[in-house]
Amino acid sequence: MLLVEDDAGIAQEVSAELSGRGFSVVHAATGPDGLDHAMSGAFDVLVLDRLLPGLDGLAVLERLRAEGVRTPVLVLSALSAVDDRVRGLKAGGDDYLAKPFAMEELAARLEALLRRPPETRETVLRAGPVEMDLITRQARRAGRSLELLPREFRLLEYMVRRPNQVLTRDMLLEDVWHYRFIPQTNLVDVHIGKLRRKLDPPDETPLIQSIRGAGFLLRVEE
Amino acid sequence: MTGRIRSAADLFGTATFRLALGSSVLLAGVALLQFSLIYWRTTQYEVERADRLLDREAALMAAQDPADLREQMRLWATNDLRLLITAAGLFDADRRPIAGNLRDWPEALPVDGAIREITVHPLDQGVRTIRAEALPVPGGRVLVIGRGLRDLQQIRSITLDAIETAAIPALLFSLLAGAWLSRRNLVRVGRMQLAIDRIMEGGLHERLPVRRGGDEMARLAGSVNRMLERLERLLDEIKGVGDDIAHDLRTPLARVRAGLERAVLHPMPADGLRAAIDRAVADLDQCFSVITALLRIGEIENGRRQGGFSVVALREVAAEVVELYEPLAEAAGNRLLLDHGPAGSLRGDRDLLVELLANLVDNAIKFTPAGGTIRVAVLVRDQEPVLRVADTGIGIAPSEREAVLGRFYRSDKSRHVGGSGLGLSLSSAIARLHGARVVVSGADAGSGAVFEIVFRNETMP
């Protein structure tokens, strides 16, 4: 992956952390430098700071997209303004993360970008023992029907599309409920808790796992 | 700068003086016009009177025989008829005088019986202007009779006297009054300038002097004083917010520092160390959430997002928030209900409105003890769309209603409850962005709190 970030401290921490997670990280400190690297197309994912010396992050992104480089890009920014996020995504970014961020959050989002679920026309989704019919809105675990509310169905569908992948609270808020702000309470935990009680009865192997400091994960046999 | 008047130019340059000068000139003009009118009307009347008199006398004379005429001339010269006819002359066919006090034939007077104004020099008087007519009388002679306009000259001098004795002193008086008033105002303005100078030097507690009586300048000074009060309060608030930020950031930062220091100083097992670091990270996150919320409030208050407004159905917003928060309320042992009302819709930012309501609901859930009910309602009252969140929680004392919407406010009862403490401030900023007002009510302690966001009617599409 390519990290374009001008702050040496953050760049070092991010590189070290991601290398530890098995990423091979190339670091560029300026916009033009980052653009040169990115043009090679040799990266699976890009992390692009919004404010860069030489060439603004969004300008780099627009240039890349104009040149037809399709590499997924995660835009980093110290500006948390909602409009800024919209602009980042409009310029061709695939995800957006405001500083300060947790490493777990960054790692989970990069993972998600690398393992984006394929566009599928399937109307039945499967992940391990879980089976979901998108037409009849029926969900089953190992043949046992689950009585899910619409909101629980949506949440499970999102997880089933991304099995064995860490999903952070912010990702769930943004993608499942289209929330653009951080609620004052542990809203996501409560929703997961409800779903968990229906999906994972005490006598069966729990499918939804909590990942300490990160979020949740639907653990299934591949 | 002093309160003194520096020069005559100052005095005469004031609006008051100019006003006085202007009105004096106007006054003089009106007086002049009035007197002229009186003079003109009197003259006209006097001339008409003279003409009528002359016509009457002329008609009488024309019928007299010559002897009588001569007698008549003598009478005019001696008795009180003299008051009526002041000049008369009888001339023969060659225009030579026969009788009367007019000895010279008035050339300017044709013999046609019409009345004209001419200048003559009668024997017993000086040169004067008279109304006169010449008419032929029997015997080929010509009679000239005339009436002087002496009264008129008297009227003229009376009029001029009147102007001198009345109008000129009045004019002078009003100019003096103007100068005095203007001096008085200059002194007052000078005092205000002194006060303003002191305020500009930082004395924000200083106020402009307000004289009792409430004239326009006192009213202006009163307004300025109220403005100063508001500014002072705003500055205090900003300072208060600064103090609050410092406090709310300092507390978690102090904990981070203490925790990390302890972890370094005292050897502890790996999981103890880990727990200490986790606590530090959590405290730092708390700091960040405060900063993020403040930035958002700033962003919303700047109002830059109004460009992205579109038509939003409040009922959908409410349904979405209720669906999202229902499990949370349930986990807290409360019921969260949505009252369906008429569909109110307005122009706004959907995401922000969701956030607004979410913060209110979140707040209600936090402050409602288990077994309570939170009702979310969308209604239209007096054609104004209203979002309402009512709970059965601890309520808000009337004295605290304003303050709960301010930044960082938490009543003493709620200090132990988590969050950035800025949820309601965010909601109130979003409401303001939409031109809506926040009404806190139903809040006698114990009976639960009611928050209403009342949107403006004109925001209806």
* ipTM, two decimals: 0.81
Confidence (pTM): 0.61
CB within 8 Å: A177 and B289: no
Q: What is the pLDDT of residue A159?
A: 93
CB within 8 Å: B418 and A187: no
Confidence category of residue A19, pLDDT binned at 50, 70, 90 = very high
In chain A, ranges of CATH 1.10.10.10 domains: 124-218
CB within 8 Å: A184 and B423: yes
CB within 8 Å: B295 and A194: no
How far does Cα B243 stand from its chain's mean position? 39
| Chain A residues closer than 8 Å to B323 by CB | 151
Specify the residue for token string 């300038």. Answer: B193
Mean pLDDT confidence for A11-33: 90
Same-domain check for residues B271 and B244: yes
| Chain B residues closer than 8 Å to A100 by CB | 288
Mean pLDDT confidence for A103-132: 87
Confidence category of residue B457, pLDDT binned at 50, 70, 90 = confident
Minimum-distance CB partner of B362 among A82, A184, A213: A184
Among the candidates B258, B278, B300, a domain finishes at B300
Q: Is the peptide bond before A100 cis (omega within 30 degrees of 0)?
A: yes
Confidence category of residue B411, pLDDT binned at 50, 70, 90 = very low
C-alpha distance from B327 to closest chain A C-alpha (Å): 6
Same-domain check for residues B363 and B419: yes
Q: Which one has a higher pLDDT value, A219 or B163?
A: A219
> Residue B452 and residue A47: Cα distance in Å, rounded?
43
Q: Which one has a higher pLDDT value, B121 or B376?
A: B376
Mean pLDDT confidence for B216-235: 85
| Chain B residues closer than 8 Å to A151 by CB | 323-324
Mean pLDDT confidence for B289-298: 76
Q: What is the pLDDT of residue A177?
A: 84
Same-domain check for residues B273 and B316: no
Question: In CATH, what class is A124-218?
Answer: mainly alpha
Q: What is the pLDDT of residue A45?
A: 92
Q: What is the pLDDT of residue B458?
A: 58
Least confident of A71-85, A182-196, B248-262: A71-85
Q: What percent of chain B has pLDDT over 90?
A: 2
Q: Is the model's pLDDT at B460 over the cut of 70?
A: no
Among the candidates B275, B300, B325, a domain finishes at B300
Query: From its phi and psi, is residue B421 left (phi > 0), alpha (psi between -120 and 50) or beta?
Result: left
The pLDDT tens digits for B343-380 are 778 888 888 888 899 988 988 888 888 888 999 999 88
Which residue, among A66, A65, A57, A67, has the nearest Cα to A96 in the 3D structure?
Answer: A57
Kindly state whether A182 is in contact with chain B, defined as any CB-CB distance less than 8 angstroms: yes
Q: What is the pLDDT of residue A88?
A: 75
Which residue range(s) make up the domain with B266? 216-300
Confidence category of residue A153, pLDDT binned at 50, 70, 90 = very high
Mean pLDDT confidence for B241-265: 82
Q: Considering the domain boundaries, does residue B80 fall inside one?
A: yes
Q: Considering the domain boundaries, does residue B451 fall inside one?
A: yes
Q: Which one has a higher pLDDT value, B442 or A10?
A: A10
Q: Which one has a higher pLDDT value, B168 or A25?
A: A25
Same-domain check for residues B86 and B35: yes
Total domain count, chain B? 3
| Chain B residues closer than 8 Å to A178 by CB | 351
Q: Is the model's pLDDT at A216 over the cut of 90?
A: yes
Q: Which one has a higher pLDDT value, B210 or B447?
A: B210
| Chain A residues closer than 8 Å to B354 by CB | 179
For residue B53, give both structure tokens: 């008199």
Same-domain check for residues B7 and B30: yes
Minimum-distance CB partner of A190 among B304, B331, B419: B331
Q: Considering the domain boundaries, does residue B211 fall inside one?
A: no
Q: Is the model's pLDDT at A194 over the cut of 60?
A: yes
C-alpha distance from A40 to closest chain B C-alpha (Å): 36
Confidence category of residue A2, pLDDT binned at 50, 70, 90 = very high
Q: What is the pLDDT of residue A83?
A: 62
Q: What is the pLDDT of residue B307?
A: 65
- Which positions ≥6 away from A55 have C-beta within 8 Å? A30, A31, A32, A34, A35, A63
Least confident of A26-35, B134-143, B145-154, B370-379: B145-154
Same-domain check for residues B144 and B172: yes
Beta carbons within 10 angstroms of residue A180's beta carbon: 16
CB within 8 Å: B351 and A98: no
For residue B149, the domain's CATH number is 3.30.450.160
| Chain B residues closer than 8 Å to A190 by CB | 327-328, 331
Average pLDDT of the residues of chain B: 79
Same-domain check for residues B347 and B237: no
Least confident of B8-22, B46-60, B305-319: B8-22
The CATH T-level fold of domain A2-114 is Rossmann fold (3.40.50)
CB within 8 Å: B292 and A180: no
Confidence category of residue B214, pLDDT binned at 50, 70, 90 = confident
Q: What is the pLDDT of residue B44?
A: 87
Mean pLDDT confidence for A42-53: 87
Interface mutation target, options B277, B285, B286, B288, chain A, most CBs of A under 10 Å = B288
Same-domain check for residues B92 and B185: yes
In our burial notation (b when 16+ CB lie closer than 10 A, e otherwise), range A81-102 reads: bbebbebbeebbbbbbbbeebb
Count interface pairs A-B at CB distance under 8 A.
59
Q: Considering the domain boundaries, does residue B249 fall inside one?
A: yes
Report the chain B residue with the minimal C-alpha distance to residue A189.
Answer: B328
Q: Are A166 and A215 in contact (CB under 8 A)?
A: yes
Interface mutation target, options B297, B299, B349, B353, chain A, most CBs of A under 10 Å = B299
In chain A, ranges of CATH 3.40.50.2300 domains: 2-114
Least confident of A85-89, B49-53, B183-187, B355-359: A85-89
Beta carbons within 10 angstroms of residue B382's beta carbon: 7
CB within 8 Å: A81 and B295: yes
Highest mean pLDDT range out of A131-135, B36-40, B302-306? A131-135
Same-domain check for residues B390 and B424: yes
CB within 8 Å: B365 and A185: yes
For residue B280, the domain's CATH number is 1.10.287.130
| Helix ranges restricted to H, B99-213 | 150-162, 168-200
Q: Is the model's pLDDT at B7 over the cut of 50?
A: yes
Same-domain check for residues B195 and B276: no
Q: What is the pLDDT of residue B412?
A: 40
For residue B452, the domain's CATH number is 3.30.565.10
Among the candidates B255, B279, B300, a domain finishes at B300
Same-domain check for residues B226 and B136: no
| Helix ranges restricted to H, B66-149 | 66-78
Q: What percent of chain A has pLDDT over 70?
A: 96
C-alpha distance from A158 to closest chain B C-alpha (Å): 16
Same-domain check for residues B123 and B60: yes
